[in-house]
Amino acid sequence: RERTRGSKLIIKMDGTQTVITDPASGQDKKFAFDYSYWSHDGFTEQANGYFAPASAKYADQQKVFNDLGRGVLDNAWEGYNCSLFAYGQTGSGKSYSMIGYQANKGIVPIACEDLFKAIEAKKPEMKAGEEYQVSLSMIEIYNEQVRDLLVSKTVKGGLKIRQHPNKKTLDGSGQSMTRSSVMNLVDLAGSERADSTGATGDRLKEGSAINQSLSTLGNCIKALADQSTGNSKVVVPFRDSVLTKLLQNALGGNSKTVMIAALSPADINFEETLSTLRFADRAKAIKTKAVVNESPTDKLIRELREENQRLMEMLKSGGGEAVSSSGSGGGDGEGSEEAEERMRELMKRNQEEMEAMERQWAEKLAQAQAESQAQIRDKEAVGERRKQQPHLWNLNEDPSLSGLIVHFCEPGSHTIGREAEFQLRGISILPQHATLNNSSDKVTLTPQNGAKVCVNGREVVQETLLNHHDRVLFGNNHLYVFDNPKAAAPSPSPIPTFEAAQAELAENSGVMGLLGDKAKSSSAG
């Protein structure tokens, strides 16, 4: 995008210092951070697709992980809550740093791999009864609604976020206690401003709703930075958005936190890049107070075991303490028997509670394994269906996210919209937006009145026959490719890309494309 618009480089990095040059005045603005990584050029692509450094200046994915992700993982092993989040405008490299692409794995997959490698390496040293337990949640926040990405069923209105009192933490030694930690790895939405996107009307409203979380995050960062300078009267608005509720510990509580500020080096993005640098500069002033955690469940189990051990020792010694506190008016023998019976009953209840809590984890693990196997079977089934049945699959700016959403066009009619069989979200999507009809593997698309639908970059208003690899845009930003395996050419055709689809939209409509580029307007004679 930047190359096609003839952009100039305005970012320089010298050690830990980042310098941005104002393209209008030529004035430099300097910012100092813990690390400044150069990834614009200076690499060679290996045979497997990995971008390897051609010089010491270039920071590859492994270097970024070693400097940032490794510390997060090491702190988690020590029992600290850890957070790492990426902030910046769309296309600046947030998802690339966090997730990566193909051979260039990002922080999240490398951290997960290294976590389980470390567990395997520690197994020979484990004592009897010791184990490592790992739980994962993957959530999406969209328009202030939370969706669990690991379950197939969507909760209407999104998941609810509730806060609970903090649990007690480990003492200084803590060697005999179970340690637990929470790692938050967050890929934030694009931080670009409305005027830079060129969005208007419904899309502007949609962008405003999406960025509400980022606006609140910015307010929280500013308030926390003010607090760190001694202004204790500032109230931090954590509760103003779902995102900041989830990140409250990461930003101002019990967590060791790392922020990645992703920058565009192009002059056309100067304002957004400068805004990102200032945001990061404020964020580095925030101080958190991280402490080692103990799992609340394991803490309770440990306390129950300790209580049972104490009761057992009392029984062996004749239960004198229990007898003296029983207040029984009968003989010593009768009081001793009652005290022993009470202690045995308490020990039994404690044992039952411990077994129940340990069983809960085993049941969760078994359920997760069953769900994982079901997801594998479902994925294989979807792959087979895609070879046989007409379907739509999504195109995304991030190539790793393309093809993850599939809508199959079985024989008959199918509705598309906010309240339809194939559900799409967004202000620009009508409740009943369009209809797909499959008759003998020939699929037609019919927009509803007032619905924006484009096929191969051109807006359509009536029934249209879809051909193999047609690009279909619903509303302003739901871009799909139509696949009809039975109508495919004998020799495979190139798979459509997001960039190519966006370019044809700009060329045919003369308006803003999905990436925010302004197409050249054709002159009328």
**DSSP class per residue in 191-254:** ---HHHHT--HHHHHHHHHHTHHHHHHHHHHHHHHHHHTT-TTPPP-GGGSHHHHHTHHHHHSS
Q: Which of 73, 80, 75 is nearest to 292 (CA)?
A: 80
91 assigned binding-site residue: yes
Query: Hey, what amino acid is at 282?
Result: R
Please give the C-alpha separations between residue 64 and each of 35, 75, 152, in angstroms, as whole numbers.
Answer: 9, 16, 33
Question: Is the distance from CB of 208 to CB of 426 less than 8 angstroms?
Answer: no
How far is 259 from 257, CA to CA, in rounded Å?
A: 7
Residue 199: per-residue pLDDT: 46
Would you say residue 356 lies in a domain? no
Per the structure, the count of domains in the chain is: 2
Sequence-distant (6+) residues with CB within 8 A of 124 are none
The identity of residue 393, as a single letter, is W
Examine residue 100 and state whether it is found in any structural domain, yes or no. yes
Phi/psi of residue 428, nearest 5 degrees: -80, 0
Contact between residue 443 and residue 484 where contact means Cβ atoms under 8 Å apart = yes
How far is 503 from 518, CA to CA, in rounded Å? 10
Q: Of 241, 266, 284, which residue sits at a domain end? A: 284
198 is in an annotated binding site: no
Strand partners, 408: 391
167 has binding-site annotation: no
Q: Which domain holds residue 507?
A: 387-513
The annotation status of 94 as a binding-site residue, yes or no, is yes
| 319 domain residue, yes or no | no
Question: Which pLDDT tens digits describe the chain residue by residue (525 residues)?
Answer: 666 677 899 999 989 999 999 999 999 999 999 999 999 899 999 999 999 999 999 999 999 999 999 999 998 888 888 889 999 988 888 989 999 988 999 999 999 999 999 999 998 988 887 788 888 888 888 777 787 777 766 666 666 655 544 443 333 333 344 567 888 898 887 766 545 544 445 444 555 555 678 888 888 888 888 887 777 788 888 888 888 888 887 787 778 889 999 999 999 999 999 999 998 998 888 877 777 776 556 666 666 677 777 777 777 776 544 444 444 444 455 556 776 777 777 777 777 776 676 667 677 778 778 877 887 888 888 888 888 899 999 998 877 778 888 999 999 999 999 999 999 988 889 999 999 999 988 999 999 999 999 999 999 999 999 999 999 999 988 999 999 988 877 767 788 999 899 889 888 866 444 444 433 333 333
| 259 lies in the same domain as 402 | no
Alpha carbons 428 and 512: distance in angstroms, whole number: 15
Q: Is 402 annotated as a binding residue?
A: no
**Tokens 């003010």 — which residue?**
226
Q: Which residues pair with 101 in a beta bridge?
A: 104
Which of the listed residues 284, 299, 325 is the one where a domain comes to its end?
284
- 3-state class of 44 per DSSP? strand
Q: Is residue 327 one of the residues assigned to a domain?
A: no
Distance CA 321, CA 339 (A): 9
Q: Say which residue the tokens 């206690």 belong to.
A: 177
Local structure of 409: helix, strand or coil: coil
Which of these, 142, 53, 39, lies nearest to 92 by C-alpha position? 39
Number of other residues whose CB lies within 10 A of the CB of residue 406? 16
> Which tokens is 328 given?
């029984």
Q: What residues are paired with 33 via a beta bridge?
A: none
> Cα separation of 309 and 199, whole Å?
67
Q: Cβ of 350: how many Cβ atoms within 10 Å?
A: 18
- Find out whether 280 and 301 touch, Cβ atoms under 8 Å: no
* Residue 85 · residue 186 · CB < 8 Å: yes
For residues 151 and 92, what is the distance between their CA atoms, to the nearest angstrom?
A: 30
Q: What is the CA radius of gyration of the chain?
A: 29
Give pLDDT, residue 223.
Answer: 87
Closest by CA to 439, choosing from 467, 410, 460, is 410
Residue 47 lies in a domain: yes
Q: Are residue 234 and residue 92 in the same domain, yes or no?
A: yes
Could you tell me if 68 and 183 lie in one domain? yes
Q: In terms of domains, do 280 and 396 share one? A: no
Same domain, 275 and 407: no
CATH label of the domain that carries residue 408 = 2.60.200.20
Give residue for tokens 């394994």.
369
379 found inside a domain: no
Q: Is residue 66 part of a domain?
A: yes
Q: Is 279 in the same domain as 403?
A: no
Residue 95, marked binder: yes
The last residue of one of the domains, among 251, 284, 317, is: 284
User: Any idea what the CATH number is for the domain that residue 113 is in?
Assistant: 3.40.850.10
Do residues 269 and 400 share a domain? no
**399 in the same domain as 271:** no
Q: Which of 235, 238, 234 is nearest to 250 (CA)?
A: 238
Within a domain: 424 = yes
- Total-model pTM: 0.66
Distance CA 253, CA 163 (A): 13
